[in-house]
Structure 1
Amino acid sequence: MDNPEEWRQQAWAHLTKLRQECPLVQCITNFVSMDLMANVLLSAGASPAMVHSIDEIPEFTPKVHALCINVGTLTPDWLPAMKVAAETANKERKPWVLDPVAAGASSFRLKACLELLGMKPSVVRGNGSEILALVKGSVDPNSKGVDSRHESIDVVEAAKSLAQLSGSVVAVSGAVDVVTDGQQAVGIRNGVAMLQKITATGCSVSALVAAFVAIDPLHLVEATASALSLFGVASEIGMDMAKGPASLRMHLIDSLYGLDQGTVFNRVKITKL
């Protein structure tokens, strides 16, 4: 799609379908993000399931519509469950999203992220530094953990390379969110800087991406771009009412729940790069 108006129509169509179908999204995620991630999914119209026990996964994961794996508070005990869930999702042909949180922060974390990347996620969503760590396959000695040292727009070529190597759609969060399948790339110019002051907003948008690819698994770039843009629009509306990070968190959830067609058509900003 070349026309911004078409992207707005697509975003509204995705949100409408999400609300109608209420996809079940399994989230194997970190302790910090569970609450906000679940509330973002609920407010958008999806159904969250925070199921991470390896004993439940073989029976439960086949029932879900999408899976989101987030390595934020990674431990050796959780990694096998993540791998079994990814294997199950692939076997059942369910889309899944990998969020490689702080991938370059330690050897253990990087190795785990690369192993999960090798299991063919539908979408990989991270910040610029996380995407670069996966491309280079090396620990960053200057890593600031979950904080990115690289602007999304500066790693477009790296994101394209990762998409080509992995076969996954790659989404890079930043001042301009970037989504690429290795060939085309689109930019999303929605969002507010204060999201960086609220923990787990990145994790939550990864879960939202999972929900959107659940309802349109054949158009991963478009579904991912819609999720990122609508989350950004909700943050912009929330920022108009917020006094700081805590109130933005509340208004973000309310605004996502209340998105209507007029707002989506007026505010979604998705263009080809």
Structure 2
Amino acid sequence: MTISAADLKDALTAVRETVPLVHCITNYVTVNDCANALLACGGSPIMSDEPEDVADITSICGGLVLNIGTLNQHSIEGMRVAGKRAAELEHVIVLDPVGAGASALRTATASELIDTLPITVIRGNMSEVKAVAGAASSTRGVDVNPDDVVTDENLAESAAFARELAAKLDAIVAITGAIDIVASADRAVAIRNGVALMGKMTGAGCALSCLVGAYVTANPASRLEAVVAAIAGEGLAGQIAASRMGELDGNGSFRTYLLDAICNMTAEQLAAGALVEEL
């Protein structure tokens, strides 16, 4: 089985047609970018981390995104309450373990959420995913360690690791970087869209996790394909944004162009431009 152009088109079309409402408990550095990215792709965002509020908010949504980028005890409790309610409703739950491995609190919180909630998708860089998997890793804050970067030379090994973790957790594992890997227990896909400029703006990864939440919520019967479409879509949007850069443009302009490209992307454009390889 391979991911087809029709799969990618259907995934984006479903987001635009169903307008999934996604509850995001995300970090305050990037919350605005996350909300705008969801609106751009065709979804609808709502943000709340107040423990007395989150159960009601999660109840009216279809998906929940948990991002540990700026943790505090208040937001951790909000994640626990929202996650429990999402589990009761069998909603999509996406975990973004930002900076896992950088501190004991981040690693412990990510591990607790994985152990106590039916996580649908884990999306992070290789260092973060290794940290929550209990594998040896050395993170550089929220950035991937150079030793963990996925390359053509270690692609097969990295894909095998992702498949094994997906089987262990009964979840989809999405490892993003220069080469992205999306894996279930028995499949792995490489994605080669994107540009280096995406690493020069804060929020690209956090927004991607929210896009994943929208795509999977809108495509419950084809979750792996939905994750691939979300990741390839943002990467392709990054390429389009980079192509618009002028001599005086910097990462601020790139951020705007990226949102524009996500907003204006058609299903046909995504299907034609996605660089997807079944491994």
Q: TM-score, normalised by structure 2?
A: 0.92
Aligned partner of 1:81 among 65, 70, 78? 78
Following the alignment from structure 1 to structure 2, what is the Cα–Cα distance between the partners of residues 156 and 120? 22
CA distance 1:46–1:92, shift in 2 (3 Å): same
**Deviations for 1:86-132, whole angstroms, at most 9, x for unmatched residues?**
11111001111000001101111111100011112100000010011
**Deviation of 1:158 (Å):** 2.5
Aligned position for 2:183:
180
Backbone CA RMSD of aligned residues: 1.4
1:257 and 2:259 aligned: no
Gaps of 5+ in 2: none
Following the alignment from structure 2 to structure 1, what is the Cα–Cα distance between the partners of residues 50 and 6? 39
Following the alignment from structure 1 to structure 2, what is the Cα–Cα distance between the partners of residues 16 and 261? 6
Contact 2:67 2:206 in 1 (8 A): yes
Paired-residue identity, %: 34
Larger mean Cα displacement after TM superposition, 169-178 or 259-268: 259-268
> What letter corresponds to residue 127 of structure 2 in structure 1?
S
**Deviation of 1:204 (Å):** 0.5
Aligned partner of 1:143 among 139, 142, 145? 139
Aligned partner of 2:55 among 37, 58, 63? 58
Aligned position for 1:244:
250
Q: TM-score, normalised by structure 1?
A: 0.94
Aligned position for 2:21:
24
Aligned position for 2:124:
126
SS across alignment from 2:52: coil
**Deviation of 1:80 (Å):** 1.2
Aligned position for 1:229:
232
SS across alignment from 2:74: coil
**Deviation of 1:76 (Å):** 1.6
Q: How many residues align?
A: 268
- 1:42-53 alignment, distance < 5 Å: 42-53=39-50
Following the alignment from structure 2 to structure 1, what is the Cα–Cα distance between the partners of residues 275 and 67? 27
Contact 2:123 2:174 in 1 (8 A): yes
SS across alignment from 2:98: coil
Contact 2:198 2:238 in 1 (8 A): yes
- 1:160-171 alignment, distance < 5 Å: 160-171=163-174
Gaps of 5+ in 1: none
**Deviation of 1:137 (Å):** 6.0
Aligned partner of 1:215 among 213, 218, 223? 218
**Deviations for 1:45-104, whole angstroms, at most 9, x for unmatched residues?**
100001111111222211101010000001122111101111111100111100000110
**Deviation of 1:216 (Å):** 1.1
1:68 and 2:65 aligned: yes
